[in-house]
Structure 1
Amino acid sequence: MEKRNMYLEKIEANIDKYNDKLADFKIRVTEVQSDLKSEYLLQVDNLEKKRDEFVEKYGQIRETSEHAWEDVKEGTEKAWAELEDSIEKAVSRFK
């Protein structure tokens, strides 16, 4: 049980960190040239969708039994890696 709880806390911290990065990214929208704003906003929308998908997977882990959470964990890890990669690519693209 403790291992699962530690994992859930780690995910929560990662979600908070991601939300902070996404908020910073949204702030940049006001600083970009008008011709880039639509592309920026499209990226923000995409990142928010990916975050929402990840949060859904996180919810699945929270709802699974103690014995089944390891099975869901693999999908969550993959989703997190994709989410993290997406934000890093978006941020580096618009620097």
Structure 2
Amino acid sequence: MDEKQAYQQKLDAKLDEWKAEIDKLRAKAEGASADAKLRYHDQIDDLKKRRDEMEKELEKIQNANAAAWNDLKAGADKAWEAMSDAMKDAWRRFG
């Protein structure tokens, strides 16, 4: 397995993990008060958008040739960090 394939698998696994975390937050929101539910849904919408962006980055990497994927990796790494930070923030607020 080359570096690109390993990175793709790592990113794909993390996307699945984030989807599960978003689903947990969504379930938690259902049991919250009306005000809290609104805050949860705003946070969940933001997380879902960020996750969707990560999926797009993964697609770009999957379709990139060997020379171009390193440039795309830098963008994916930034998006990964932003998503990780947003997920941690969501759990601090609502966890």
* Greater helix fraction, Structure 1 or Structure 2: 2
1:51 — aligned with what?
A: 51
2:10 — aligned with what?
A: 10
Unaligned runs of at least 5 residues, structure 1: none
Q: How does 1:10-89 map to 2 (within 5 A)?
A: 10-89=10-89
State the Cα deviation string for residues 65-92 of structure 1 (Å, max 9, x = none).
Answer: 0111011101100100100110110111
Query: Alignment identity in percent?
Result: 29
Aligned-residue Cα RMSD (Å) equals 1.1
Which amino acid in 2 is paired with 1:39?
A: R
TM-score, structure 2 as length reference: 0.94
Deviation, structure 1 residue 43: 0.8
Q: Distance in 1 between matches of 2:35 and 2:47?
A: 20
DSSP 3-state at the match of 1:32: coil
Deviation, structure 1 residue 31: 1.6
TM-score, structure 1 as length reference: 0.94
